Amino acid sequence: MAKKKKSSAFAVVQQIGKSFFLPVSVLPIAGILLGLGSSFTNADTIAAYHLQGIMGEGTILNALLTIMSQVGNTIFGNLPLIFALAVALGMAKNEKAVAVLSAGISFFVMNSTINAMLKLSGKIFSGRNICKECLKRTDHECLWY
């Protein structure tokens, strides 16, 4: 009996590990896109190598590199959602589409709920700027305004 429990627990852990494979496999290409795009659209880098003619503002290459940077940044910025969807896809035995949609909706509801609770408790304000006094604090009671 104990052996069967151990093997079923291992199977669940193995299934979760397989679920992480897809999002993790996207990270290298996202890193390459973000790295190349950010490096070669940096004004200081372009000026240092005298590449204003081919990589400066308004060139096709600059537009392409800006898009690459934004795509990489978007993938990294949405990693929590990507992992939530991937785990739902990997763990579902049937109705995988329903599981993925439910995971996405649950992720948005969770984030909205946490945000509302933090606003109601006065931990954050509705804006996106950080209070300058909070930068000096170390007690993790930062307020946003």
Residue 38, both tokens: 């950010």
The yes-or-no verdict on residue 127 having pLDDT over 70 is no
Place of tokens 């079923």: 8
pLDDT at 5: 65
Q: Which range has the worst mean pLDDT, 9-18, 40-49, 64-73? A: 9-18
φ and ψ of 69, to 5 deg: -65, -45
pLDDT at 120: 85
Strand partners, 2: none
- Torsion-angle region of 94 (φ positive above 0: left; ψ -120 to 50: alpha; else: beta): beta
Higher pLDDT, 133 or 120: 120
- Torsion-angle region of 140 (φ positive above 0: left; ψ -120 to 50: alpha; else: beta): left
Q: Mean pLDDT across the stretch 119-123?
A: 79
The yes-or-no verdict on residue 143 having pLDDT over 70 is no
> Which DSSP category does 134 fall into?
G
Q: In Å, how far from its chain's centre is CA 84?
A: 11
Residue 145's pLDDT band (cuts 50, 70, 90): very low
Mean of all residue pLDDT scores within the chain: 87
Percent of the chain having pLDDT more than 70?
81
**pLDDT single digits (tens) 16-29:** 888 999 899 999 99
**pLDDT single digits (tens) 53-79:** 999 999 999 999 999 999 999 999 999
φ and ψ of 58, to 5 deg: 90, -5
